[in-house]
Amino acid sequence: MERRKDGERRFAGPLLAAGVLLTGLLVTVLVAGGLRAAQRERAERVMDQRHAAALATVQTEIARYRALLEAVAAGAATHRELTWDEFDVASEPMADAGLLGATAAAYVVPVRTADIPAEQRRWRGLGAAALTLRAAEPADEHYFAVYARTLHEGDTPAVGTDLRNAPELTNVLAESRRIHATAVSDTYVLLSDRTMPAGRQQQSFVLATPIWSRANTPEFRGWMMLGLRGRDFLSGVLGTISQGQLLGRLIATDSDGSQVTVVDWSAPGDPDLTRSAPFTVGDRTWTLVTQADSARLPGARSQMPALVLVGGGLLTGLLSWLVHVLATGRARARAQVEVATAELRVAEEESRRQAGLLGAVLTSISDGVSVVDETGRVLVENPAGKRLMGTDEANDHPEQWQQHYGVFRPDGVTPMPVEEMPLIRALHGEPADQVEVVIRNQQRPEGVLISVDGRPLDPSAGLRGAVAVFRDITDLRRYETDLRVFAGVVAHDLKAPLALAHGHAEVALDDLPPESPTRERLLRIVGSIDRMDTMIETLLAYTTARNAPLRPVPLDVAALARQVIEERTAHRDDVTWSIGPLPPVQADPGMLRHLLDNLIGNALKYVRPGVAPHVVVDSSRLAPDGPGESGGWVRIEVADNGIGIPDAEKPHIFETFHRTEEAARYAGTGLGLAICRRIVERHGGEIDVTDNPGGGSRFFVTLPGVPADTVLEGRDMGSTAENDDAAVRAALERALAERAAILEAAQLPGLGMPQPAREQPLRMPRPEKQRQDQA
């Protein structure tokens, strides 16, 4: 009996607590639901009011535009011969009316093909002095805008352009004349906007009103036309009335019945209310769709339901918990203690396992890892890091790192300043990638070249600091140098017989009379040898651009561009060029010169016969982002007036050996732009090409910039590139000497092996040939 009573007491408390909890939650949910339903009704009413106001505003604005256009057309109809001055007076109210989204108002007339010269003289005499009628494809009738008034700053009306270029304009003009009333065009991109980048183009439309004379037998004279940009119109109309709370979408029904979204007007929030209503514009039916987030509508939602729900739930939970605690007592407290200690034991075991796994990973990897706190104190350093740094004792004072570890710049001689070290840069919030450092100390007397990546420590670690990962690249740099020497030896061996054949061909040409038929064959041989020589040098440059060590320093781009252009144009007097302000960049001197020489060489080379080359070099500083964060990114532009590049070829123009059909008529190897892309990508930048608005091409190159107060190094880039290649040149000369010794030793009697040709003087690749190539 006693055991039964204990069991009843044990279950009475939980059952009572559960009853209190369920009852309280039910009441809280019912109250909150009622409040939320009332708020939803208010939101629906507010949304109906906002939608009606937006629709009325759009209809009113469209009607005002149409009324102004028809008033100007009516005024024009009173003049038999509308002069420019009369058009200017008649259309002046449109300029003062504040027509949102309006681009221009134009007076358009129909002209038959045979009457174009006469009509051009006529309208010039009426005030359009500079008018030139440019007909499109042959047709019985053309539509020209002879007068135009700009309604938006920056727009240039297409005066004199045949509007048959746009089928939407042709259709709306024909429909307006047919119905003797204002008509609206299908949505399209205005002719004046088609030269803009795709992201700035808008779906637009025009209103066209026919102009008939006031005679008993009306005579058709033309149209008054008004262009509107959809996004500018709707954003201007809804911008005030929506107060940042309505999303709008204007849908136009085109002549073929299809529905086109002219513009989307966005607003913050997650819309859950939608209204839609059609309205008439001219001879078309449009639809205005508005959406809103009920939480952002004034008076439509409050926090009361949520507060009631949360507050009621908390109070109910607290009350039921108190009931449960009082009912369960000691047994429940003991169970909670057991659960809490079990979780702590599991968490402690998991922490030990994670720490052991992290330690095993750091010990196993071959790359060095070092972590310091905000003061420079070393927190973690794995065995690979200690081995690469050549010391087992960490140093917690950054100002002593250079002496303690023996840190030098890549030249192995200049001590690296503390502020340039990757860990210090990372502590200041600046990521550092692939920073080359030489470590030379007592344990590393021969020196080791390492590449260091530094990053600020993730805030989730709970403290401020930095982490660096470094690896030994000494063998990699030796391999790259050997590869350059090998490429130089191969190029030398291939060019020696070419030089011999070229010399014999030139001697033969000197001995032949001018009328000899053999001269043409010899000239072909000389041309083939030159092309082969250029190909070898270009391939050598292609390999060098990929494998040569990168030694970026602050460079004056303007001085280098001017030097390249002056060298390129020294023997020419038909070239015009200009250089705009060019911010300095952080780049390898030899490779940057190679890049500019290729792009400028192409600009001077790929021009049509009889056209004087014109080159423009300009640049701009972009927003800080990525590796160039300390100095931002610099965008260098090289524009020309050459043959241009078809749109279909632009995605492939930087591929190896790719040449356009037009460029194939000019000498080249198809590697020049591929080399340019390799150079830019090795600096972490991008290269692209687009059409030059004045004709030709415009190349864009982004490179890391430098802070404004940085002292520039080495304005004579030619000498800098030669100094960078001094070690490779010496190695190449040694390799050639060894090869000559081997060939000399191979001359055994009776083998009949010919003596090698006399060695030509060692020459580095000639940049003026390889840098003129275009893909």
Please, what is the Cα angle at 497 between 496 and 498, to 5 degrees?
90
Residue 291 has pLDDT above 70, yes or no: yes
Residue 511 has pLDDT above 50, yes or no: yes
More confident call, 438 vs 364: 438
Per-residue pLDDT, averaged over 73-92, amounts to: 87
pLDDT of residue 225: 92
Least reliable range by pLDDT among 350-354, 653-657, 765-769? 765-769
Per-residue pLDDT, averaged over 344-368, amounts to: 80
- Distance between CA atoms of 673 and 655, rounded to whole angstroms? 8
SS3 string, 40-107, reads HHHHHHHHHHHHHHHHHHHHHHHHHHHHHHHHHHHHHHCCCCCCHHHHHHHHHHHHHCCCCCEEEEEE
Residue 429 contacts residue 464 (beta carbons within 8 Å): no
- Distance between CA atoms of 157 and 151, rounded to whole angstroms? 10
Residue 17 contacts residue 323 (beta carbons within 8 Å): yes
pLDDT of residue 628: 41
pLDDT of residue 123: 92
CA dihedral 110, 113, 115, 121 (to 10 degrees): 80
Percent of the chain whose predicted confidence (pLDDT) is above 70: 81
Q: How many CB atoms lie within 10 A of CB 7?
A: 10
pLDDT band at residue 537, thresholds of 50, 70 and 90? low
Q: 207 in helix, strand or coil?
A: strand
CA distances from 510 to 36, 104, 419, 489, 533 (A): 102, 70, 65, 32, 22
Helices (H) and strands (E) counted in the chain, each on its own, are 18, 22
How, if at all, do strands 614-622 and 576-579 pair?
A: parallel
Q: 483 in helix, strand or coil?
A: helix
pLDDT of residue 689: 93
Per-residue pLDDT, averaged over 670-687, amounts to: 86
Per-residue pLDDT, averaged over 368-397, amounts to: 83
Residue 407 has pLDDT above 50, yes or no: yes
pLDDT of residue 409: 83
More confident call, 674 vs 392: 674
Least reliable range by pLDDT among 138-142, 268-272, 417-421, 634-638? 268-272
Per-residue pLDDT, averaged over 112-124, amounts to: 90
pLDDT band at residue 727, thresholds of 50, 70 and 90? low
Residue 109 contacts residue 221 (beta carbons within 8 Å): yes
Residue 204 contacts residue 190 (beta carbons within 8 Å): yes
Average pLDDT, the chain: 78
CA dihedral 177, 178, 184, 186 (to 10 degrees): -110
Task: Calculate Rg over the CA atoms of the chain.
Answer: 40
Q: 186 in helix, strand or coil?
A: coil
Least reliable range by pLDDT among 102-116, 365-379, 608-622, 652-666? 652-666
More confident call, 653 vs 391: 653
Which residues make Cβ contacts (< 8 Å) with residue 500, sequence separation at least 6?
Answer: 757
Per-residue pLDDT, averaged over 320-329, amounts to: 72
pLDDT of residue 753: 34
pLDDT band at residue 80, thresholds of 50, 70 and 90? confident
pLDDT of residue 500: 76
pLDDT of residue 402: 83
Closest C-alpha among 624, 621, 642 to residue 557: 621
pLDDT of residue 752: 33
Per-residue pLDDT, averaged over 207-225, amounts to: 89
CA distances from 413 to 295, 387, 398, 440 (A): 66, 22, 20, 10
Residue 743 has pLDDT above 50, yes or no: no
Q: What is the pLDDT of residues 239-267, one digit of tens each?
A: 766 666 778 888 888 777 788 887 777 77
Residue 184 has pLDDT above 70, yes or no: yes
How, if at all, do strands 687-691 and 697-704 pair?
A: antiparallel
- Sign of the Cα pseudo-torsion (529, 534, 537, 543, in order): negative
More confident call, 195 vs 335: 195
More confident call, 501 vs 489: 501
- Distance between CA atoms of 320 and 28, rounded to whole angstroms? 14
pLDDT of residue 11: 65
Q: 536 in helix, strand or coil?
A: helix
Per-residue pLDDT, averaged over 651-670, amounts to: 76
pLDDT of residue 541: 62
Residue 629 has pLDDT above 50, yes or no: no
pLDDT band at residue 121, thresholds of 50, 70 and 90? very high
Q: What is the pLDDT of residues 465-484, one digit of tens each?
A: 888 888 888 887 777 677 66
How, if at all, do strands 102-112 and 687-691 pair?
A: unpaired
Q: What is the separation of C-alpha 342 from the centre of its chain, rounded to a whole number of angstroms? A: 54
Q: Which residue has the tokens 């790719």?
A: 658
CA distances from 33 to 298, 308, 310, 311, 315 (A): 20, 10, 13, 14, 18
Per-residue pLDDT, averaged over 595-615, amounts to: 90
pLDDT band at residue 190, thresholds of 50, 70 and 90? confident
User: Full-prediction pTM beyond 0.75?
Assistant: no
Per-residue pLDDT, averaged over 306-313, amounts to: 79
What DSSP element (H or E) covers 422?
helix 422-427
Residue 746 has pLDDT above 70, yes or no: no
Residue 193 has pLDDT above 60, yes or no: yes
Closest C-alpha among 549, 584, 536 to residue 713: 584
Q: 640 in helix, strand or coil?
A: strand
Q: Each residue of 365-403: b (16+ CB within 10 Å) or e?
A: eebbbbbbbeebeeeebbebbbbbbbbeebbeebeebee
Closest C-alpha among 467, 394, 465 to residue 432: 467
Residue 630 has pLDDT above 60, yes or no: no
Q: What is the pLDDT of residues 631-645, one digit of tens each?
A: 688 999 999 999 888
Residue 209 has pLDDT above 90, yes or no: yes
SS3 content of the chain, % helix, strand, coil (to 5): 50, 20, 30
Q: Each residue of 423-437: b (16+ CB within 10 Å) or e?
A: bbbbbeebbbeebbb
